[in-house]
């Protein structure tokens, strides 16, 4: 992890968790406390918007069938390809990860002026070099069976599709071993705000606020 002074902030908290873990709900609880959150998932969409060079590169590599009628990327079709072919996944990551990192850095820099610390919400924090941008890591953790149940209900995917996504990411055990804080999100949703407040107070103390 880098010194946060390199991007002029006392503290950047990396918020991560597997699909269906509820990390976005936890991020919203921090936002309710006035803490900005930069969403790496949004970054991954922003860099492939119509007119962006990355979208043109994807079209040339995978074919025009991945471009929707409105000019946007067919993300579901692309996801199916890369989770079935490891080499294609590596190609896509090589293209997108540097662009996503630059976008995230710009957003972090823009968000730091008014907050004592900032959240970087990233499902692939450990799998990419994004973990180098943060000074501490908060993992939102649930059992795999609960991940599958929640993600299936939310996204309309099959349990097998969700399991493939989970299998393509770092294991739950490895994430737990790398995280500085583990947030058990198998508890009731009504407990989230109070537990996030406790973490918020810890982060303020670390940030010296």
What does each C-alpha distance from 9 to 73, 180, 208 come to in angstroms?
A: 34, 19, 11
Q: What is the pLDDT of residue 10?
A: 58
39-97 pLDDT, tens digit per residue, is 998 999 999 999 999 999 999 999 999 999 999 999 999 999 998 999 999 999 999 98
Q: What is the mean pLDDT of residues 121-141?
A: 93
Percent of the chain with pLDDT over 70: 95
Tokens 């739950």 -> residue = 172
């Amino acid at each position: 992890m880098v010194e946060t002074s390199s991007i002029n902030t006392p503290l950047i908290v990396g918020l991560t968790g597997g699909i269906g873990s509820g990390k976005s709900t936890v991020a919203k609880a921090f936002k309710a406390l006035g803490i900005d959150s930069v969403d790496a998932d949004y970054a991954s969409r922003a860099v492939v918007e119509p007119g962006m060079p990355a979208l043109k590169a994807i079209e040339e590599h995978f074919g025009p069938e991945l471009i929707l009628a409105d000019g946007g990327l067919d993300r579901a079709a692309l996801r199916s390809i890369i989770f079935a072919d490891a080499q294609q996944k590596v190609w896509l990551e090589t293209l997108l990860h540097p662009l996503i990192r630059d976008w995230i850095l710009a957003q972090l820099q823009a968000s730091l002026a008014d907050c004592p610390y900032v959240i970087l919400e990233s499902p692939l924090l450990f799998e990419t070099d994004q973990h180098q941008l943060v000074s501490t890591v908060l993992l939102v953790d649930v059992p795999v069976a609960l991940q599958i149940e929640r993600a299936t209900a939310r996204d309309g995917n099959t349990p097998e599709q969700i399991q493939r996504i989970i299998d393509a990411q770092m294991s739950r055990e490895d994430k737990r071993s790398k995280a500085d804080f583990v947030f058990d999100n198998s508890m009731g949703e009504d407990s989230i705000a109070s537990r996030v407040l406790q973490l918020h107070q810890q982060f303020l103390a670390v940030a010296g606020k």
